Amino acid sequence: MDFWWIFWITTLAATGCISIFIVLSFNEFMFICYAATHRPKFPETDKKFRYAVIIPARDESQVISHSLESLKAQTYDKDYFDVYVIVERKDDPTIEITEKLGYKILFRTNLENRKRKGYALQEAYEQIKATGIKYDSVMIFDADNIIDKHFIEQLNRVKATGRYEIGMGYRKSTNSQQNWVTGTSTLLFSIMYALDSKGKAHYIRNVTVCGTGYYIDTSVIDKEGGWIWTTLTEDAELTKYSLAKNITCGYNENAILYDEQPATLKQMRKQHNRWVLGFLQASGKYKREKRHVGETKSEHFLKNYTKMMGIFPLAFIVVTPLLYAIACFVLMGLAYVNNYELWYFYLIAAILSLIFIYSLFVFVSVFDMVADRRGLEFKFKFGFKVSLMFIFFFLDFVLAFFRILNKNNRDWDVIKHSGKVTSKGAKKQINKKDKK
């Protein structure tokens, strides 16, 4: 066996594949470059739309007060939004906190095999429709969210353009610098918002819906006969739906809310299991429309190209060197067994390939920290630590695919929130009374 010939063929093939995938990912690089160099603002508007603000809050009395107080402090006209809090038990302390602030309680009545956030939103929307009150859009938050006082005002500017059926804000963390787990989780959302969604919203009017902090027009919901996104991760399903049905999505980085991130490895793994399982449930659920229409020829082309290619070219920039490293380790073993001296070339090539992958994750981390330095609020030493650990955080998603094979629980599994707030920006939004 000519190991030297195999070595060069394998190396050239891997290099060629990476080069091809880089070219095929030109659209993603466009999105990233735009996001890193622009800070778009939506103009002020006199248009006012009515919003139904919905907060699922199963046993969230420990943290929901901050969320409700921050809604009280909104600069948007209070007559144009109503707050509904979803609970499951009539003895939930959340009820007293909610009613004390003058907001409305929605009780869940159908819980059998439906203990998911998506089902809670589905039931809540049906109850709100039954009241006869007309709303232009529904706005979704979590009980642990702390909402910037300008949030609804800023998202209303997105809706006022008339170009977006879904509008999303920027999700920061209340505990971003608590440890490397919260830091890497915060970094992931920053990449998804500051580098991905900002560029996509500009070029193709579509974003990845992440968690909460977004509005969706009631016309979109009513067209489907109600809230239909009920998989384990309803936001991922809504993203798939918007891609399939050509629903336009906007992003406003000035609409800011704060969300608590998991602070332990156990919580992180639990969250990743849920995300991966929810992603698998949502994948392929909606048949794509045959043609996606854009406002301009360039938007039409980019929208269809992005939806056709997805993130596969970008993903294979990482997968290819990983496969190359595995092949090198296998060939190293064969060469060593056959007493061929080239075996150490394979070892070096495999190690360099793994270093390339690790360096790629570090580079993306550092690039995002520079591009989104205002949003992340990371100190240098902590940011350096997060950049080194980010690949391990990401690796847990891969491990989650194997973990969920033995996981039977597919309900809306609660991750307990501590209510710990370390972010300076989040602290500013908390009512002075809560600070005492």
DSSP-assigned letters across all residues of 316-350: HHHHHHHHHHHHHHHHHHHHHHTT-TTHHHHHHHH
According to the model, what pLDDT value does residue 131 have?
93
According to the model, what pLDDT value does residue 238 have?
92
Of the candidates 139, 251, 244, 232, the one whose C-alpha atom is nearest the C-alpha of residue 192 is 251
Domain 43-306 has CATH 1.20.1440.230: no
Q: Are strands 51-56 and 166-173 parallel, antiparallel or unpaired?
A: unpaired
Q: Which residues of 78-98 are buried (b: 16+ CB within 10 A; e: fewer)?
A: eeebbbbbbbbeeebebbebb
According to the model, what pLDDT value does residue 134 have?
95
Q: Assign residue 377 a region: left if phi > 0, alpha if psi is -120 to 50, beta otherwise?
A: left
Nearest 5°: CA angle at 288, between 287 and 289? 120
Contact criterion met (CB below 8 Å) for 187 and 165: no
Name 122's Cβ contacts closer than 8 Å, sequence gap at least 6.
226, 227, 228, 230
DSSP3 helix / strand / coil % (the chain, rounded to 5):
55, 10, 35
According to the model, what pLDDT value does residue 42 have?
93
Contact criterion met (CB below 8 Å) for 97 and 61: yes
Q: Is the pTM of this model over 0.75?
A: yes
- Residue 136, H or E segment: none
Structure tokens at 31: 């999105």
pLDDT in tens, the chain (436 residues): 566 778 788 889 999 999 999 999 999 999 999 998 888 889 999 999 999 999 999 878 888 998 999 999 999 999 999 999 999 888 889 999 999 999 999 999 887 777 788 999 999 999 999 999 999 999 999 998 999 999 999 999 999 999 999 999 999 988 888 899 999 999 999 999 988 999 999 998 989 888 899 999 999 999 999 999 998 888 989 998 998 888 999 999 999 999 988 889 988 998 888 888 888 888 777 776 656 666 677 887 888 888 888 788 888 999 999 999 999 898 888 887 877 777 788 889 999 999 999 999 999 999 999 999 888 888 899 999 999 999 999 999 888 888 877 655 444 455 666 666 766 666 666 654 444 4
Structure tokens at 395: 């690796």
According to the model, what pLDDT value does residue 430 have?
67
Contact criterion met (CB below 8 Å) for 180 and 385: yes
According to the model, what pLDDT value does residue 433 have?
41
What is the rounded CA–CA span in Å between residue 33 and residue 21? 17
According to the model, what pLDDT value does residue 233 have?
87
According to the model, what pLDDT value does residue 409 have?
47
According to the model, what pLDDT value does residue 175 have?
87
Of the candidates 28, 24, 18, the one whose C-alpha atom is nearest the C-alpha of residue 364 is 28
Half-sphere exposure of 423 (CA within 13 A, CB side): 30
What is the domain partition of the chain in residue ranges? 3-23+311-406, 43-306
Edge-first strand listing for the sheet containing 146-147: 104-107, 81-87, 51-56, 137-140, 214-217, 166-173, 249-259, 146-147
- Collapsed DSSP state (helix, strand, coil) of residue 131: coil
Nearest 5°: CA angle at 143, between 140 and 149? 70
What is the rounded CA–CA span in Å between residue 192 and residue 198? 9
Residue pointed to by tokens 């294979």:
316
Structure tokens at 182: 């919260």
Of the candidates 73, 249, 51, the one whose C-alpha atom is nearest the C-alpha of residue 150 is 73
According to the model, what pLDDT value does residue 417 have?
60
What is the rounded CA–CA span in Å between residue 348 and residue 239? 42
